[in-house]
Amino acid sequence: MAGPWTINRDRQDGHRGRDLRAALGRLGTWPRRVRLRQLSGLRSAFATTVRLPALKVPGLKKSTLKVPALKVPAGNARRRPGRSGPAATGRFRAWWAVPLLAIMTAAAVLLGLATYHVAERAVTFSQQAARRVGGPLVIPAPRIAGGFPRRFGAISDPAAVAIVREFRQRFEAAGASLVAGARPAPGSPGQGSATPARTVTTSRTSGLYGEPGHLDPQTFRPSWVMYFGLDTTGMLGHPSVTIIRLMKGLLGPYAKVGPWPVASGHRGGSANCTVGWLGQTSVSVCGWATDHTIGALVSPVRETAVRELAVLMVKMRYDLQRA
């Protein structure tokens, strides 16, 4: 026997005469009665909660059926009156697009011009530093250059004598040609005068340096490097042009291998190396030039390779030329 707390679906209400199934059917159609079109225009950062009133089910004494709260997504929220919509925002952005694009273009052009100006100044400064960083040559040649001691006395090897003699002749001829085309420097050396100097003076130096622990494979004598240098008070011209003229004079008119650029080191200027023939011997030749100095090193290929002599030249210039 069912108690007073039991609900029978066949039991009819005394007032309206409808069962529980009909009441639940009406409950299923309740959300359709809500005016959701009023909720579609709201715009809120959070979901809007719509709470429906408690529903009384006929046939139940002192009982109510609560419908859960209905949450409407923020995208379906209704727009509040008085606020600008997407169309107004789009018109506002379109109005600012053209001036903003023009400002950004002008800023990009100014930035490009500034970058080009800075890069041009840097290149010009580096070129000037490369020409002027090297000071005058050390005259007479130092006793030690790049860790190699200077050798004194006569050369006893006939092949080495022929190499040094021919190399000296070619260097002096090339140096004389370069000095003949030099222009006077503005002011005398060390005086800072604004008037050009009247004459161009030159100074020459040389030295024979041995390589300790490095022997000639043919004569079993210590290997050697011959050095010649020229310093002038005039301006020889651009170092890259001067070094090519010097190397062509050292190689002679019948050279088959042209010079190629190598690192000049922190003394600046331009440097070249190549392979030539002196006294019927294949030799390595390296030289450098600044706006007022030239220098050259030579050694037989069997004793010192070209790549090795290029490294020695950078090391020896620290002692052969002042900063």
Q: What is the 3-state secondary structure (H, E, C) of 92-133?
A: HHHHHHHHHHHHHHHHHHHHHHHHHHHHHHHHHHHHHHHHHC
Task: Tell me the C-alpha distance between 213 and 220, whole Å.
Answer: 11
Q: Flag whether 243 is in a domain.
A: yes
Compute the radius of gyration of the chain from its Cα atoms: 48
Task: Look at residue 35 and tell me whether its pLDDT is greater than 50.
Answer: no
Inside any domain, residue 118? no
Query: Length of the chain in residues, anyone?
Result: 323
**Is 8 contained in some domain?**
yes
Residue finishing a domain among 48, 65, 83: 83
Q: Tell me the C-alpha distance between 175 and 309, whole Å.
A: 21
Containing structural domain, residue 238: 133-187+199-320
d(CA 287, CA 246): 8
CA distances from 51 to 36, 38, 39, 66 (A): 13, 15, 13, 10
pLDDT reading at 52 higher than 50 = no
Residue 82 has pLDDT above 90, yes or no: no
Is it the case that residue 263 has pLDDT exceeding 90? yes
- Which residues does residue 223 pair with via DSSP β-bridges, in sequence order? 211
CA-to-CA distance for 243 and 258, rounded, in angstroms? 12
**Is 228 inside a domain boundary?**
yes
The answer to whether residues 146 and 256 belong to one domain is yes
Distance from C-alpha of 56 to C-alpha of 282, rounded to nearest angstrom: 117
52 close to 18: Cβ distance less than 8 angstroms? no
Angle between helices 158-180 and 239-251 (to 10 degrees): 140
Asked if residue 88 belongs to a domain, the reply is no
What are the pLDDT digits (tens) for 139-157?
Answer: 999 999 999 999 988 788 8
150 and 262 belong to one structural domain: yes
Neighbours of 181 (CB within 10 A): 12
Same structural domain, 179 and 297: yes
Q: Nearest 5 degrees, angle CA 269-CA 282-CA 265?
A: 20
Domain check: are 77 and 137 in the same one? no
pLDDT band at 293 (very low <50, low <70, confident <90, very high): very high
Q: Are 316 and 146 in contact (CB under 8 A)?
A: yes
Cα torsion angle, 55, 57, 60, 61, sign: positive
Residue 279, by phi and psi: left (phi above 0), alpha (psi -120 to 50) or beta? left
**Is residue 193's pLDDT more than 70?**
no
Contact yes or no for 215/222 (Cβ under 8 A): yes
Whether 201 has a pLDDT exceeding 70, the answer reads: yes
170 lies in some domain: yes
Same domain as 174, residue 71: no
Residue that is last in its domain, among 83, 115, 147: 83
Q: Do 299 and 220 fall within a single domain?
A: yes
* Inter-residue contact 249 to 230 (CB < 8 Å): no
270: nearest Cα among 299, 237, 300, 302: 237
pTM: 0.57
Same domain, 74 and 138: no
pLDDT confidence of residue 158: 87
Q: 167 and 66 in one domain?
A: no
pLDDT at 21: 57
3-state secondary structure (DSSP) of residue 230: strand
> Whose CA is closest to 47, among 67, 70, 30?
70
pLDDT of residue 280: 85
- The DSSP secondary-structure symbol of 202 reads E
Residue 78 in this model has a pLDDT that exceeds 90: no
Please state the separation of Cα 124 from the chain's center in Å.
18
Same-domain status, 78 and 140: no
Q: How many domains does the chain have?
A: 2
Q: Of 268, 304, 270, which Cα lies nearest the Cα of 285? A: 304
State the average pLDDT for the chain.
75
HSE toward the beta carbon, residue 291, CA cutoff 13 A = 15
* Same domain membership, residue 145 and residue 12: no
Once rounded to an integer, what is the mean pLDDT over residues 174-201?
70
Of the candidates 80, 66, 69, the one whose C-alpha atom is nearest the C-alpha of residue 47 is 69
The answer on 213 and 65 residing in a single domain is no
What tokens were used for 299? 């050694």
> What number is the average pLDDT over the span 208-222?
78
- The reported pLDDT for the residue numbered 12 is 47
- 299 lies in some domain: yes
Averaging pLDDT over each range in 33-47, 72-86, 90-104, which range is the top one? Answer: 90-104
Q: Is residue 127 part of a domain?
A: no
Name the domain boundary from 41, 68, 83.
83
Residue 191 predicted with pLDDT over 70: no
pLDDT value at residue 124:
55
Q: Is 147 found in the same domain as 4?
A: no
